[in-house]
Amino acid sequence: YGDASQRIDYVFKVVLIGDSAVGKSQILARFARNEFSLDSKATIGVEFQTRTLVIQHKSVKAQIWDTAGQERYRAVTSAYYRGAVGALLVYDITKRQTFDHIPRWLEELRAHADKNIVIMLVGNKTDLEDQRAVPTEDAKEFAQKEGLFFLETSAMEARNVEDAFFTVLTEIFNIVN
């Protein structure tokens, strides 16, 4: 897929959720601008970035929302979830606690978002394989049980980030078509 100019056929809102410091903002920076930073500041204020893709000859503008450092306070508001048709539910493969909190995030997501929302479970930081604390199988099993897509990514190495978004956006595209 490439970038489209001109006409926009669809706008899909996708939200990023998960604990603080799992790499949500860097996953977004990688997807939207092909950038990565090791010393990213905690995100301030609700922000979204867009990238326009072509899916099956239609131009699709992905509007990706990033939490505003509200993760710690469990203060992600319903406005954040409103209208979202996709979600990336992110944990850090080197921090078991961030995976243990996934059911809580999923519950919050399902309480606030559209019931047909497409959800991708994302285990980030695969470049830190030697510090892995969450076996791939555990996450795969959880995703299967909950009916989620699942991928492991590295925002740092640009591994599977495009795939994660593209899978979600294509699935949404297929649902609306």
Residues that bind ligand GDP (CB under 6 A): 20-26, 37-40, 43, 124-125, 127-128, 154-156
Q: Which does 111 bind (CB under 5 to 8 A by kind): Mg ion, ligand GDP, none?
A: none
Q: Smallest gap, in angstroms, from Cβ of residue 125 to ligand GDP?
A: 4
Residue nearest to Mg ion (CB): 25
User: What's the min distance (Å) between Cβ of 93 and ligand GDP?
Assistant: 9
CB of 84 to ligand GDP, least distance (A): 17
Contact status: 43 vs Mg ion (CB under 5 A): yes
- Assign 3-class secondary structure to the chain: CCCCCCCCCEEEEEEEECCCCCCHHHHHHHHHHCCCCCCCCCCCCCEEEEEEEEECCEEEEEEEEECCCCHHHCCCCHHHHCCCCEEEEEEECCCHHHHHCHHHHHHHHHHHCCCCCEEEEEEECHHHHHHCCCCHHHHHHHHHHHCCEEEEEECCCCECHHHHHHHHHHHHHHHHC
21 binds, among Mg ion, ligand GDP, none (CB under 5 to 8 A by kind): ligand GDP
Choose the stretch contacting Mg ion; rule: CB under 5 A; options: 43-51, 74-82, 110-118, 151-159.
Answer: 43-51
The verdict on 59 binding Mg ion (CB under 5 A) reads no
Q: Do the beta carbons of residue 14 and residue 64 sit within 8 Å?
A: yes
88 binds, among ligand GDP, Mg ion, none (CB under 5 to 8 A by kind): none
CB nearer to Mg ion: give 19 or 55.
19
Least distance in angstroms from the C-beta of 111 to ligand GDP: 21
- By beta-carbon proximity to ligand GDP, the closer residue of 53 and 156 is 156
Provide the minimum distance between the beta carbon of 148 and Mg ion in the complex, in angstroms, as a whole number.
21
CA distance 154 to 23: 9
Q: CB-based contacts of 55: which residues, under 8 Å, 6+ apart?
A: 1, 169, 170, 173
